[in-house]
Structure 1
Amino acid sequence: MSSSRGAWASRIGLVLAMAGNAVGLGNFLRFPGLCTKYGGAFLIPYFIALLLLGIPLMWVEWSIGRYGGQFGHSTAPGVFDKLWRNRFSKYLGALGVALPLLITIYYCYIESWCLAYTWYSVTRPFAPQEGDTQKILYSPVSPQFVTEVAAWKSSRALALPITRTEWEQKGQNLKSANPRRFEKLNPPAIFSNLDTNRDDSLTTDELTLQSSNNSNLMRDLISQDRESQLTKEPITQAEWLAATEDILQHNPEMARLLKLPSDAAFTAIDLNKNSALDPPERLAIEKPLANARTQLFLDEYLGSRSYEDPAIEATYFRTLWPAVFFWIVTVAINCLVLGTDINAGIERLAKIAMPALIIFAIILAVRVLTFQSPSTAEHGYTVWDGMNFIWEPRFDQLANPEMWLAAAGQIFFTLSVGTGSILCYASYLKRNDDCALTGLATASTNEFCEVVLGGSIAIPMAVAVFGLFGAQAIASGGSFNIGFVAMPLIFEQMPLGRLFGPIWFALLFFAGITSSVALASPMMAFLQDEFGISRKSAAGILFGILIGFGIPVVVFPGSAYLDQLDFWAGTLGLFIFALIELIIFGWIFGGKEMWAEMTRGAQIPMPRFVYYLVRYVAPIYMFVILGLWILQEWQTLTSVESFLPEQRGYIWMARASVVTVIGLVALLVGLAWAIKNSSPPPERRE
């Protein structure tokens, strides 16, 4: 092993770098969103997953990385080759290089939003004119309850008899749309055969008892037409009151979704006072920020709203060039940090960014706890109601398997297990350096940032400004809704908001960059270890890869390209790779050898039950989660039919990108070992 591999200069630098790897955008955006979606009950499966999966897996990756570092390997291909003397093991390790690289490709783009928003929150207001604040509407009704009322109305409309006119019109439309297939279709004759009571209408019973392929097809198409029409029709006050009475009679628990009595709630959400809940009024409840100026700012910045007509004047951005500029700057900053040695680059960044991040988060958390929203007088919610919502569990939610899957996924996401980055950082440890205490300190730092700080900023503020139902509706739209659409509006309502806005986005940028340099490190280390490439040259190659593969992420906003990369690399891929690590380290390497490696140099006694967690509990837990996941998502895994037609080409492009990157890394692994077997191993150059 070359002596130029480098090492951590201090334990505090190691802990901060490892914590920076874990503390990312998910701590301040994804975690609060999940808490809002599932309520306080989410923390129960979250902490169970932390104890049964997160901490044991983190110790495994620390131990694997330290073990591989003894042989000059900082990445999974080389480490797996030493743990399992099999010619295929190194190719499994290729996932530990390809997956974090794929995540870095899109993560850098999201990180660049934080840099851009930091700049724009200082240099220009989000309002078109200084002092122009936007009225934020408060809803005393949960979007879920409005959906229930709409479903109540729809079920009754779909149960109505189908008239002869409706039937024959649909049949004629079918024949016109596809004359070859339906040339012999005779809708009047089919109707007459089905209409047994001769009342010129078809009931559900008549359709069910005498169904045929053509009659079923026409019935389903007519139902779709009715449902499509119903979404455009308003819900009248009479329908609202009847639906509310029926819903609450059958399910009294639904009353928690109404802040006011039924009639008063309807009056509050009937904004134009026409005794009907119109589609725009429903949209204001279900997507309260759809028309917010901060949503327009984000859409124009990302290029989601294009202005081909030069006569149309953009409010903020006409082109995508500002987003491209900040993205390239962000990628360049990452590569500059990675291009210097580990002490002057990653460790120095961690020593600056992590304390700054924590200080900024504490400043914001203190400001949140003292925040009195002007909207509280209207809806009655304070920041303490938001805190209470996060921490007060509803135990009936524990029966929801989706929540358990989400909790396990968040633990993987927040601790960065399964990414190969912990393994890479740990490879710079010396043979007898401690993994147990240092690893636990890293996990504790991450949990403090996520649960204590992350849970104390965005959601309590959103509840205080938008009310509980509004905050839930915003969170259901995704983590970006909270961070980039809701928070700028909230800062408008806050004294000194122009100060706290930049602090919030700088906090997100620091959280992002400490994670992205860690995610990119396996590719850097692989090029150095296996090909002897210098760190600066490896950083240049990485810059080209991130820009080349990142272009579709930037230029195809709203195409599902980014979401697909996140699903395959950042979600499913992490589970599979972590499971492979457990099997190789716990079973193929051997239980006795595994335990000796994990406990060597430990500065705190590692409980014996951790051995059983790593060998038995964690793999079984993960197999169950993965099995349930695949059962729920198998259609998403194998098809694109559930996506919009205009998105399907981009989805296949994203999947092809994932396969291409994994395949190229596997080819590089094979090439590196072929060179290694035919000549002395290259010396790693800094």
Structure 2
Amino acid sequence: MEKLKQKGTHHRGEWGSKLGLILAMAGNAVGLGNFWRFPRMAAEYGGGAFMIPYFIALVVVGLPIMITEWHLGRFGGQHGHGTIGPMIYLQAREKVKPKTALAIGTICGALAFAIPVLINSYYNHIVGWSLNYAVQSLFNQLGHGADLTAAYQSAISNPVQAIGFWVIAALLLAVAASKGIKKGIEAWSKIMMPTLYIFGIVLACFALFTQARPETPNLTAIAGLDFLWHPDFSKVNWSVILAACGQIFFTLSLGMGLISNYASFLKKDDDIVVSSIATVSLNEFAEVVLASTAVVPLAYVFMGDDLLQGGSIGFSFISLPNAFMNMPLGNIVGACWFFLLFFAGFTSALALFNYLVTFIEEGLHSSRKVASWVAFVSLIVIGIPVVLEPMLSNGATQIYFETLDSWVGSYLVLFLGFIELIIVGWFVKPQKTLEGINSGAKAKVPSWVVTVFIRIITPAILLLVIVNATIENAKNGFFSWTGIVPEGGDPAIYALWTNLGRGMIIVVFIFGFIMTLRMLRKTYQHELSKQ
């Protein structure tokens, strides 16, 4: 085992600095959802009232799982592993026989493989759209009003735009990942994350000083903040609580294997408690402060209540650009917004991409450069349906995209997070878990964080959320043959793309299952053969 540990550590590399690690972790967490999903959700689900379940979920769900995943990652890295399957196997083996631990580790490994691969297969497209819009906005090529709807449909269905910028984004990911942890991920994060925050602060200042238009004197930036944060407690219900918990998972990149993957490159005595809190703090500053201050007030001045129309995608690529094009220096402001989205999306996509690279490295024993380009080709192939459907429908539908996002980005992550808590909380002695978390920590985590939250409260809340989400989804037709068909939609078309998306999830999961099982059997064949 010691040989494996030394070999893994040497081959996989380490972070060059504490700052680089925290910025990379923040880049993983701070993504598109912070800037286009959160402000719209807060405004739609009760404004200030939404923040009550949101912050409760952050404290009782987000922080315990964040600390758990940092602990899992550093633990796995000390044994030469950067993927969830072996990490869970080693933890589960503390309680059950190796073959039982093998089954648990393989299932978790398959989930942790499928989730980042499938998210990246459509997330990269959004990163490409952001870069496309940033360039168009910079050169003042975006239209106005209804033209922006056509511009968005062109961006996702025109082969030159849709494929070109998608491939550019994927190529940049492969180049960054191939350079390794210190010279690749860390170096890019040190540039992109500070730039992202600068753009966010500039946009927030611009938004707060934007004057109301003469024809709509009541639509001011301050009124926009009031629209966002005015508490409407009548809207707080189970759907809002589910949405708040889902947003915490989405915004912190929990239940995806990404935190553990980055943490696996830590040194033995690196402080994961401070790092966990710093990651959450940087993410919440970007989400609650910058995104809320910059996005909604700016859009409210030019659109009023209409800014909530069109969903998250429409909000970012149709509603906001329409506001930008009606203000002084709108093309510059718009370029800042879309470059911000690009940087946020790219750093998160890089974490997703790196998980696949690590999986290929460990599973096939290949070099990082080879693994990076294998990952690039794989994601291009898997991402073809995402770009193909809009082309065939002239930008009218994105059912396949929505199916993957609903199942993987908002549902399967909850399952993986729940299993991680059960394994770390119940299969390992609490004192041993506590010692592992506090190793190298300047501020020690108290024992009740493990015995009360990680073992009981957090998994119980997560289970409650999963059960209620399942009931809610069943009522909405989520599990039906055609999926959720909107009024006027063609059930046959929805059935085709919905089940193609479900089929892709199953295929990728099975592949991840086979590869994880093969990896674990080969690495731990000696102890497995003894049972």
> Structure 1-normalised TM-score?
0.71
Q: CA deviation at 1:549?
A: 0.6
1:110 has 2:126 as partner: yes
* Counterpart contact for 1:40–1:389, Cα < 8 Å: no
Paired residue for 2:231? Answer: 393
Amino acid at match of 1:395: F
SS of 2:50's equivalent in the other structure is: helix
1:68 has 2:76 as partner: yes
1:13 has 2:20 as partner: yes
Paired residue for 2:453? Answer: 613
1:505 has 2:347 as partner: no
Deviation per CA, 1:460-492: give whole Å up to 9, x if none.
Answer: 11211112x2223x2xx2111121111211112
Matches within 5 A, 1:83-482: 83-85=91-93, 86-92=101-107, 93-127=109-143, 292-303=146-157, 319-374=158-213, 377-378=215-216, 380-398=218-236, 400-467=237-304, 469-472=305-308, 474=309, 477-482=310-315
Q: CA deviation at 1:76?
A: 0.4
Q: Runs of at least 4 residues of structure 1 off by over 4 A?
A: 677-680
In 1, the alpha carbon distance for the partners of 2:66 and 2:526 equals 35
Deviation per CA, 1:131-177: give whole Å up to 9, x if none.
Answer: xx65xxxxxxxxxxxxxxxxxxxxxxxxxxxxxxxxxxxxxxxxxxx
1:636 has 2:478 as partner: yes
Q: CA deviation at 1:379?
A: 5.6
Deviation per CA, 1:531-554: give whole Å up to 9, x if none.
Answer: 321001101110111110100000
**Count of residue correspondences:** 497
SS of 1:604's equivalent in the other structure is: coil
Q: CA deviation at 1:512?
A: 0.3
Amino acid at match of 1:650: W
In 2, the alpha carbon distance for the partners of 1:509 and 1:559 equals 21
Unaligned runs of 5+ in 1: 128-132, 135-291, 304-318, 681-686
SS of 1:377's equivalent in the other structure is: coil
Q: CA deviation at 1:504?
A: 0.8
Amino acid at match of 1:299: Q
* Counterpart contact for 2:204–2:295, Cα < 8 Å: no
* Counterpart contact for 1:528–1:534, Cα < 8 Å: yes
1:627 has 2:467 as partner: yes
Q: 1:670 aligns with which of 514, 517, 520?
A: 517
Q: CA deviation at 1:678?
A: 6.5
1:580 has 2:429 as partner: no
Q: Would the alpha carbon gap of residues 69 and 560 (structure 1) be closer, same or farther in structure 2, given more than 3 Å must change?
A: same
* Counterpart contact for 1:72–1:529, Cα < 8 Å: no
Paired residue for 1:194? Answer: none
The structure where helix makes up a greater share of residues is 2
Amino acid at match of 2:104: S
In 1, the alpha carbon distance for the partners of 2:330 and 2:483 equals 44
In 2, the alpha carbon distance for the partners of 1:53 and 1:325 equals 39
Paired residue for 1:47? Answer: 55
* Counterpart contact for 1:640–1:651, Cα < 8 Å: yes
Q: Single out whichever of 662-671 and 589-598 deviates more from structure 2.
A: 589-598
SS of 2:215's equivalent in the other structure is: helix
* Counterpart contact for 2:483–2:498, Cα < 8 Å: no
In 1, the alpha carbon distance for the partners of 2:410 and 2:479 equals 12
Q: CA deviation at 1:559?
A: 3.9
Paired residue for 1:661? Answer: 508
Unaligned runs of 5+ in 2: 94-100, 391-396
* Counterpart contact for 1:386–1:463, Cα < 8 Å: yes
Q: 1:547 aligns with which of 357, 376, 380?
A: 380
In 1, the alpha carbon distance for the partners of 2:168 and 2:466 equals 37
Matches within 5 A, 1:518-597: 518-557=351-390, 558-597=397-436
Paired residue for 1:191? Answer: none
Q: Between the two proteins, what is the percent identity of the paired residues?
A: 36
Q: CA deviation at 1:124?
A: 4.2
Q: CA deviation at 1:434?
A: 0.6
Amino acid at match of 2:314: N
* Counterpart contact for 2:75–2:87, Cα < 8 Å: yes
* Counterpart contact for 1:559–1:647, Cα < 8 Å: no
Paired residue for 1:282? Answer: none
* Counterpart contact for 2:43–2:228, Cα < 8 Å: yes
In 2, the alpha carbon distance for the partners of 1:13 and 1:526 equals 22
* Counterpart contact for 1:458–1:482, Cα < 8 Å: no
Amino acid at match of 1:636: F
Q: CA deviation at 1:668?
A: 1.1
Q: CA deviation at 1:641?
A: 5.7
SS of 2:267's equivalent in the other structure is: coil
SS of 1:88's equivalent in the other structure is: helix
In 1, the alpha carbon distance for the partners of 2:139 and 2:232 equals 44
Paired residue for 1:209? Answer: none
* Counterpart contact for 1:458–1:483, Cα < 8 Å: no
Amino acid at match of 1:585: V
Paired residue for 2:30? Answer: 23
Please tell me the root mean square deviation across aligned C-alpha atoms, in Å: 1.6
In 2, the alpha carbon distance for the partners of 1:296 and 1:596 equals 57
Q: CA deviation at 1:455?
A: 0.5
In 2, the alpha carbon distance for the partners of 1:108 and 1:590 equals 40
* Counterpart contact for 1:373–1:493, Cα < 8 Å: no
Deviation per CA, 1:83-123: give whole Å up to 9, x if none.
Answer: 11222122122211221111111000111000111111123
In 2, the alpha carbon distance for the partners of 1:525 and 1:502 equals 34
Amino acid at match of 2:135: W
Amino acid at match of 2:260: L
Q: 1:78 aligns with which of 86, 90, 93?
A: 86
Q: Single out whichever of 585-594 and 402-411 deviates more from structure 2.
A: 585-594
Deviation per CA, 1:515-568: give whole Å up to 9, x if none.
Answer: 001012222112212332100110111011111010000010214100111111
Q: CA deviation at 1:609?
A: 3.3
